């Protein structure tokens, strides 16, 4: 085997010499310090100790408020009906506060559906580190000028906005669109809590990819529970983060730098009602998961999660490891939640009172308060004053939030999409380093390109235009992807911008979400559209929803290139045309160009758009040729194109079915029927105006795609034409699609399965 010219890979030779793998050891509960020793050594100051205590008290008060709200016992909100979720984290305050205080204020976190505490803690810590101007931005119209006064006001505003989000109010961090399970504050580095167990882990991993790329020194602390660490996308993410190509010299060179991410595994010992450790897994310590992903066990450590100083120390050390390029790190925090999964769970069916009592004896607040008093950091009177301050601040914020304005009902769909795009690349991102010659894209004498070369040209041009554009997916690097669309890109742009991924579709798409949130503009490739089902949560619940759920405080500028293999005899799991499924997901753009010119122009538009885009490609079209303009050729998304003008019937289509429609139109023309062929090109956004204008002219409509008819987007078009152009119709709207079955491998059967020009002609005749 020869070494590739780019020297990214070393020669692999067979060797079966016997050896025994050494999986190493994972340290547990190594921190033996106290507040006294931490103060004496200068590890923390007295003020930092007070901050830790204040933040834990704030988290506890916030969470206990939720419990009281459910029973009507929270006096500050008497008469207010709280309708939100009740997944409280009482008992886990040390992990939330210790971890968020152990990283920098501008570092990132992601959290879980039980993430109010993490969110409150991150904001409290981040606000203290903000410069005066940033604090003033958080407090528009303030007349305060002193740092201390601004921090105090920002803390109160932080608690208010967090409670307002919990209550679904317009003043909430996400304008009430996300609620407690999706709370986020991107201005403080909080990239969002997640109602999908483990759903935020690939997003956190993607934010670390972004930080590594930009070399901005930021670390991501990814909170997820013990239950999440049996979830596929979480394990995919650990593998993704630990890839050797980020650090090994043969891939990364001397500048190898591991992903700067801390996986904070919050082991509160109950996934919901079941025990993760020792019951639904085969390990007693969840930190052992790390041994499966990195030779160094991801620096794994088990930490006393009931001791805020231990959590602070472990996170601080982990952050130093990450900033030194030695990440990722996995920390298991051994803690406990005193309540059930939610307040509807009485927990008496699977826990004992003795168990809970033992844990309450080492309550993180009680034990730390005692140390604060014993060390003279606070007197009893000052401790009581601090507690009153926290309780009163929360009560004021809650009362204000209860009375705050609700979102307008007319705004129910506001923030579903953004209308922004990159019209002009900021100057700092126009400086593009090209390692070698750009891949050659050969045109014919007539100016023709193949469909796949048109896509490649779009990628090249956008990567040259904007250094935030990165390309990754399975086999896209040296090999150039399964269909050679990305061949040569790695030679020009290097492995930081073009790299292979594990066969982990969920992690591919999920990391793209996190990377897009934090500054990159990823183009992720899915080898077959069928595999998008493996990533459907990250596409539908994450990429599509975060702009809306964040109240438009974040945009998700990513492109997922997904190729359709229908018509090649690949059978039921490699041949599905699934664009209709993803068109059903609000928040996601879905486009499907059929010609090389449209493929280039629409991919460029998709990369520049700030919405997530599912960019569908047909493998049958990859070698099809067409004239493609050189240079800046842009085709807008959401604009249909009339590929053939006619007067007797409108044929609406998209994707490779376009060419069957054009062939059918030729046959019909010989019979004296002039068909107008409308190529939608884009399902979302949808250009119904062009379709309706055509139908008003012709009076008849047939809708065609290669998708199976049942549940197809063809029905959406047909329904809207019937509803919006009924008076112009001279016949019912008919549809042509694949048979309502599974794509067969047999060539004969597949021909019978997929629609063809004869099917379209026959259907048009029915309308006549």
Half-sphere exposure of 135 (CA within 13 A, CB side): 25
Q: 667 to each of 308, 529, 674, 700, 732, how far by Cα in Å? A: 77, 32, 10, 17, 22
Handedness of CA 668, 670, 675, 676 (dihedral sign): positive
Please give the biggest Cα pair distance in the chain.
97
Length of the chain in terms of residues written: 768
Q: Rounded to the nearest 5°, which phi and psi values hold at 336? A: -155, 140
**Are the beta carbons of 118 and 262 closer than 8 angstroms?**
no
Q: How many CB atoms lie within 10 A of CB 383?
A: 17
Let me know: does 522 contact 498? Beta carbons within 8 Å.
no
User: Residue 335: which of 225, 231, 228 has the closest Cα?
Assistant: 225
Select from 248, 213, 264 the least CA-distant residue to 109. 264
Q: State the DSSP code for 3.
A: P
Is 428 part of the annotated catalytic residue set? no
Q: Answer yes or no: 505 catalytic.
A: yes
b/e string for 251-275 if b means 16 or more Cβ within 10 A? bbeeeebbbbbbbbbbbbbbbeeee
Backbone angles phi, psi at 251, to 5 degrees: -110, -50
Angle, CA of 43, 44 and 50, to the nearest 5° = 160
Q: Which of 113, 116, 269, 574 is catalytic?
A: 574
Distance of alpha carbon 173 from alpha carbon 183, whole angstroms = 7
* Among the listed residues 90, 635, 29, the one whose alpha carbon sits nearest the alpha carbon of residue 332: 29
Helix (H) / strand (E) containing 304: strand 301-304
Coil, strand or helix at 128: helix
The residue among 103, 129, 120 whose CA lies nearest residue 262 is 103
* Residue in 236, 478, 505, 617 annotated catalytic: 505
- CB-side neighbour CA atoms (13 Å) of 361: 6
**For 253-363, where are the alpha helices, taking DSSP H only?**
308-323, 353-360
* DSSP track, 474-539: TT-STT--TTSTTTTHHHHH-TTTEEE--S-HHHHHHHHHHHHHTT-EEEEEESSGGGGGGGHHII
Annotated catalytic residues are 505, 574
């Amino acid at each position: 085997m020869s070494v590739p010219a780019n020297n990214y890979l070393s020669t692999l030779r067979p060797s079966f010499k016997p050896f025994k793998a050494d999986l190493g050891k994972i340290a547990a509960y190594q921190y033996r310090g106290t507040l006294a020793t931490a103060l004496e050594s200068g590890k923390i100051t007295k003020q930092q100790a007070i901050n830790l205590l204040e933040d834990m008290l704030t988290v506890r008060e916030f969470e206990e408020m939720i419990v009281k709200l459910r029973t009507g016992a929270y006096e500050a909100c008497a008469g207010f009906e709280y309708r939100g979720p009740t997944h409280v984290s009482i008992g886990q305050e040390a992990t939330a506060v210790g971890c968020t205080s152990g990283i920098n204020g501008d570092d990132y976190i992601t959290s879980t559906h039980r993430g109010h505490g993490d969110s409150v803690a991150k904001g409290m810590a981040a606000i203290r580190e903000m410069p005066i101007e940033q604090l003033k931005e958080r407090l528009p119209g303030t007349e305060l000028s002193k740092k201390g006064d601004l921090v105090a006001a920002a803390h109160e505003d932080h608690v208010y906005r967090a409670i307002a989000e919990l209550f679904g109010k317009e003043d909430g961090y996400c304008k009430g669109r996300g609620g407690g399970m999706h709370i986020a504050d991107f201005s403080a580095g909080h990239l969002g809590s997640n109602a999908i167990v483990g759903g935020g882990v690939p997003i956190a991993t993607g934010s670390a990819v972004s930080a590594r790329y930009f070399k901005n020194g930021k670390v991501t602390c990814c909170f997820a529970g013990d239950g999440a660490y049996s979830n596929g996308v979480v394990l995919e993410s650990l593998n993704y983060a630990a890839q050797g190509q980020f650090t090994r010299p043969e891939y990364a060179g001397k500048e190898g730098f591991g992903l700067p991410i801390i996986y904070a595994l919050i082991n509160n010992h109950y996934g919901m009602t079941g025990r993760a450790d020792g019951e639904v897994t085969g390990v007693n310590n969840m930190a052992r998961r790390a041994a499966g992903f990195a030779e160094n066990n991801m620096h794994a450590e088990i930490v006393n999660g009931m001791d805020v100083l231990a959590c602070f120390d472990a996170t601080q050390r982990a952050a130093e490891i990450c900033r030194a390029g030695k990440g990722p790190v996995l920390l298991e925090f051994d803690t406990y939640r005193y309540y059930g999964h939610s307040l509807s769970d009485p927990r008496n069916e699977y826990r004992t009172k003795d168990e809970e009592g033992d844990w309450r004896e080492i309550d993180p607040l009680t034990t730390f308060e005692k140390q604060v008093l014993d060390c003279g950091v606070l007197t009893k009177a000052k401790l009581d004053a601090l507690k009153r301050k926290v309780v009163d601040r929360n009560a004021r914020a809650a009362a204000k939030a209860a009375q705050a304005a609700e979102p307008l009902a007319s705004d129910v769909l506001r923030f579903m999409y953004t209308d922004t795009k990159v019209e002009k690349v900021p100057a700092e991102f126009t400086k593009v380093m090209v390692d070698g010659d750009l891949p050659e894209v050969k045109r014919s004498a007539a100016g023709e390109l193949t469909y796949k070369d048109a896509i490649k040209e779009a990628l090249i041009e956008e990567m040259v235009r904007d250094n935030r554009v990165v390309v990754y997916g399975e086999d896209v690097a040296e090999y150039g992807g399964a269909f050679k669309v990305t061949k040569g890109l790695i030679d020009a742009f290097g492995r930081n911008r073009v790299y292979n991924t594990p066969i982990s579709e969920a992690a591919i798409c999920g990391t793209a979400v996190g990377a897009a949130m934090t500054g990159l503009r990823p183009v992720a490739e899915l080898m077959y559209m069928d595999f998008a089902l493996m990533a459907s949560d990250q596409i539908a619940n994450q990429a599509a929803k975060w702009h809306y759920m964040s109240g438009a405080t974040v945009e998700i500028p990513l492109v997922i290139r997904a190729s359709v293999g229908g018509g090649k005899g690949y059978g039921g799991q490699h041949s599905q045309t699934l664009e209709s499924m993803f068109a059903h997901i609000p928040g996601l753009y879905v486009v499907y160009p059929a010609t090389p010119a449209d493929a280039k122009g629409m991919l460029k538009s998709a990369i520049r758009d700030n919405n997530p885009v599912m960019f569908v490609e047909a493998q049958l079209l990859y070698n099809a040729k067409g004239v493609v303009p050189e240079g800046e050729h842009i085709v807008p998304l959401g604009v249909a194109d009339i590929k053939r003008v006619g007067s007797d019937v409108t044929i609406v289509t998209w994707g490779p079915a376009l060419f069957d429609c054009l062939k059918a139109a030729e046959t019909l023309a010989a019979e004296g029927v002039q068909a107008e062929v409308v190529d939608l090109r884009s399902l979302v956004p949808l250009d119904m105006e062009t379709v309706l204008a055509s139908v008003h002219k012709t009076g008849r409509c047939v809708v065609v795609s290669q998708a199976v008819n049942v549940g197809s987007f063809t029905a959406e078009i047909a329904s809207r034409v019937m509803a919006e152009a009924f008076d112009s119709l001279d016949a019912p709207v008919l549809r042509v699609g694949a048979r309502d079955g599974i794509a067969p491998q047999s060539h004969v059967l597949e021909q019978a399965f997929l629609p063809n020009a004869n099917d379209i002609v026959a259907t048009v005749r029915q309308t006549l």
